[in-house]
Structure 1
Amino acid sequence: MTTTQRLPRAWRDELVLTLRERDVSGADIGDALAHVESFCADAGQDADEAFGPARDYAASLRLPSGSPTPTPGPLLTRAMLLRYAVGMVAVALVGMSAASWARAEPLRLGAAHLAVTVVALVCLGLLVRHLTTFVRWCTTRSWVAWIVTQAGAWVAVGLGFLAAHLLPGVGVTVPAAPLTAVAAAVLVVPALVAQLRGSLDDADVVAGPLEDPAAVGRRSRRANTLLTWALPLCGLVSAGLTLGLDQLLRG
């Protein structure tokens, strides 16, 4: 059995998550992982046998809190979650308003849009309230997080169709061009500011004992760049699909 096999992924992820929740730095977490790897290799034991459950072992470590740089990965903060929620609304608005702008028509927002927005706000509130639990699901039980996400999305879609059927005449008209411009700015400006400030390069990464810290840092920067520009890219795809579908329907 190799040293990497003595530290199962589930045990490692649980240790990292528990220490990250205490805001322990990536360097200290890496040192803790190195100690566990070294001990297991010398003793011929696996991590759970030698140190017990990862959560209990993490609680026994007296490590300082206060990571010097932002924590990367799936450990979302409430502010970041709010930003992505606003971004997803902007993605939807860009997609809906782009076709109306191309036709020189105002955008009509009806009861279906209101119902979907209400469901989205309720889901956001639940996420904020149970953020730590959801983050753990994303990392250790991704299938549970996927089911919860899909359930919320389909509930929103179902209520949207129901509202459109029951209240077809309810709605407001909004100028398409200003709405498209504002939604696009909401998507692009935060990503551009993060890129120009260089905040994508200073994440506090965790490098395991058998990993090259420089390589881990490069992967983290690529992941951060992709995440930062994910919403603008989604907005571009949304607008392109909407315009393409509109052209097909009109043709």
Structure 2
Amino acid sequence: MKKTIDLRQVRLVLCIAAMASIFSTREASAQTTDTVYFNAKWEKTDRDNKHFYRAISREGNNRPIRVQDFYPNGVKQMDGWYSSLEPEVRDGDFTWWHEDGIKHRQMTFDKGEPTKITEWDKEGKITRQQEAVKTVSHINGERVRDRKALEKAPVFNRGKSSFPDYVTRHLEYPAAAEGISGEVVVRFVVDKNGRTRDAEVVQSVHKVLDDTALDLINSLPQWTPGVLDGKNVDIKMELPLRFNR
């Protein structure tokens, strides 16, 4: 018996194949990788004279850019994320390795600012560990935000609960506020003994909300204090508390 071909099935198969090809092309074009070559002094050069080389991966406009640098032997030298390459703005986690593949440094950047660093020796022992925390001070009556480099930032001691989780669970809207909404900002100190003290409102909404915010801060459990140069230190912190009704 002579077999017949269902043209509708053929058209369907061709249509599926065409769509798969389109999606595959789009996926391939969504991410691009460029290679840049450097000499031993990290000056740009051509492929024939390269020492280091760099792979730059982009997934589209306004997306983080991944940069990976490699030693001549192909071992990764650096892996990190940029928000811009012209100018260079590091924004995210970075890791560096020795030529033998042993990790020796990790850093975190926030829009170009280093916020955390950890370094190791060849045996894997930590030789440096610092973290920058946001601090607030007043100069000539003006509130100034800054970062202070610490070996260890204050740690909130409440089991597995993070500080924001604790605040969410314990901050209650006071009935006496009668529908008032707004953001109260409280500045306080976590001292070298881990106690919370010197809480004060630096952005007020209403006395009832201000007092509620202060009550929460003053009732916080003990922290593990911040460390600088191997010593416990007092750290000023600032917390915005949002009240909605």
Between 1 and 2, higher relative CO (CA 8 Å, sep ≥ 6) is seen in 1
* TM bucket normalised to smaller: under 0.3
Bigger fraction of residues in strand: 2
